[in-house]
Amino acid sequence: MTTFADAAVAHKGKMLFAYSDVSGPVQIQERLAEFMGVTKDDLPTLRAILPADMKKFASDVKAADLTVDNIGAFIDDAVGGKLSPHLKSEEPPTPNDGPVTIVVGKTFEELVRDPSKDVFVKYYAPWCGHCKKLAPIWEELAEGYASEPNLTIAKFDSTANEAEGVEVRGYPTLIFYPKGNKAGVNYDGERDLESFRKWLGDQSTVLAHKGAAHDEL
């Protein structure tokens, strides 16, 4: 803590310095740790956040090796755009062969931005009541398309995972990533099975091609 306090003085004005536990009598500590992707096993750790775009960064220097100088270098690199943002992620589940594909931070690029597939993602929070209500409908939707290898119905726990370029402001958030538009298309319709299926029928190139092939027969 002495080194960190000295760094706060030496680099005053570059960034606000603060420290926190991952839990405690003040609930904000737990919420901050969750937001930053810090667990008890990570402590002690040095992290930074840029409030303008909420990008987070993790120092790769062990706490015991931190100095006033390398703390300053870490801050300068974060502010100067020289560091890649730190994105939290669970470990990929094994197996992952259920009707709904589980996506985590580490597998987002591979599974969601796969250019050969249409992917419909539910971003959710485990404690969210609306998400719990949607869960069985989402499972039923996935089961209905289980025979479509190029259409994936997926879910992403946004409290434990992050993906670059994805900002979730409410739960559940539903985004469709068709083959030709991996920037994503937001779904804002009714959250029932019939509405989902109708909307996907209009949006999915996979289903459109299947329908065209069926018409030709």
How high is the pLDDT of residue 51?
Answer: 87
The dotted CATH code for 2-79 is: 3.40.30.10
How high is the pLDDT of residue 215?
Answer: 33
What gap in Å lies between CA 123 and CA 159, rounded to an integer?
9
How high is the pLDDT of residue 30?
Answer: 85
User: 68 near 4, Cβ under 8 Å?
Assistant: no
Would you identify the CATH topology of the domain 101-216?
A: Glutaredoxin (3.40.30)
Q: Decide whether 2-79 matches 101-216 in CATH topology.
A: yes
Which residues, including other chains, have CB under 8 Å from residue 30's CB and lie 6 or more apart? 22, 23, 24
How high is the pLDDT of residue 168?
Answer: 92
**Nearest residue to 112 (alpha-carbon basis) of 32, 18, 185, 193:** 185
Sorted by where each begins, the domain ranges of the chain are 2-79, 101-216
How high is the pLDDT of residue 199?
Answer: 98
How high is the pLDDT of residue 208?
Answer: 84
* Pairing mode, strands 47-50 and 55-58: antiparallel
Handedness of CA 201, 106, 161, 87 (dihedral sign): negative
Series of mean pLDDT values for 10-residue runs along the chain (217 residues): 93 93 80 84 92 88 94 95 91 96 97 97 97 98 96 96 91 96 96 98 88 37
Indicate the pTM of the whole model: 0.78
Angle between helices 193-203 and 129-144 (to 10 degrees): 60
How high is the pLDDT of residue 210?
Answer: 66
How high is the pLDDT of residue 37?
Answer: 82
